[in-house]
Amino acid sequence: METAMADRRDVLWTVARIAERIRVPRHRVEYVIDTRGLRPAGRAGSARVFDASDVDLIESIVARMDEDREGVRHG
């Protein structure tokens, strides 16, 4: 059932859920959001929520950061 939820484009994601989905610590997701100036789609109480396109963008930025980090270590 989780896979079906992850594929829905109308789901809003909290920072914690994004981190869980892409398997990184929450602070890395927060770093990407803050340094890239990403704006939440809305709020659920005090939590920021993001749409699926934001999640995809955050995931790709984290992946690029990891690739850059690996390149520095091995290059």
By the 10 Å C-beta count (0-12 exposed, 13-18 middle, 19+ buried), 32 is classed as: buried
User: Model-level pTM?
Assistant: 0.80
Domain count, the chain: 1
Burial per residue of 45-66, b for 16 or more beta-carbon CB atoms within 10 angstroms, e otherwise = eeebbbbbebbebbbebbeeee
Higher pLDDT, 73 or 50: 50
Looking up residue 21, the CATH number of its domain turns out to be 1.10.1660.10
Q: What is the mean pLDDT of residues 8-14?
A: 85
pLDDT at 1: 43
Token pair of 49, please? 């929520």
Q: What is the pLDDT of residues 14-70, one digit of tens each?
A: 999 999 999 999 999 999 999 999 999 999 999 999 999 999 999 999 999 999 888
Please give the residue range of the domain that contains residue 35. Answer: 2-74
